[in-house]
């Protein structure tokens, strides 16, 4: 897995701008299927930068909220050789991340990780 280093600039406690987060953000991974990390997340547009806290923390849903924004780094390697197992893993993953538009069995038959 590629190491991602995140630097978030904002208003610090002394009311001066500076780095408020400098870390390796949390990431989700299914080995041989994908890895991703949420770099930033909001639940409103336009973005309210006065909201405190790490808004990317613990974001696991795939799509942003209706009026929000999600920014991620994502890597999808080639499909694993066992197509049936690949489909099972993807179906479980789609269920766990509450995929809004999961691929149909017909979609998965043509190619496990092909977009629907």
* Interval 49-64: pLDDT, tens: 788 888 888 887 778 8
Indicate the SS3 state at residue 45: coil
What's the pTM?
A: 0.68
Residue 2 has what pLDDT?
62
- Token pair recorded at residue 98: 């509450």
Residue 44 has what pLDDT?
92
Using the structure block, give the residue that is written with the tokens 């400098």.
Answer: 22
* Interval 67-83: pLDDT, tens: 999 999 888 888 888 88
Using the structure block, give the residue that is written with the tokens 């999600």.
Answer: 70
Residues 105 and 41: their CA atoms lie apart, in Å, by 31
42 phi, psi to nearest 5 deg: -135, 160
Residue 111 has what pLDDT?
65
Which residues in the chain land under pLDDT 50?
116
């Amino acid at each position: 897995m590629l190491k991602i280093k995140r630097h978030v600039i904002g208003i610090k406690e002394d009311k001066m701008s500076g780095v408020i987060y400098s870390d390796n953000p949390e990431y989700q991974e299914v080995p041989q299927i994908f890895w991703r990390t949420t770099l930033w997340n909001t639940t409103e547009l336009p973005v309210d930068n006065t909201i405190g806290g790490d808004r990317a923390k613990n974001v696991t849903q795939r799509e942003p909220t209706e009026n929000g924004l999600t920014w991620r780094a994502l890597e999808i390697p080639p499909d694993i050789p066992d197509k049936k197992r690949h489909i099972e893993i993807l179906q479980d993953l789609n269920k766990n991340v509450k995929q809004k538009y999961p691929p149909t069995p017909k979609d998965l038959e043509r190619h496990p990780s092909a977009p629907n």
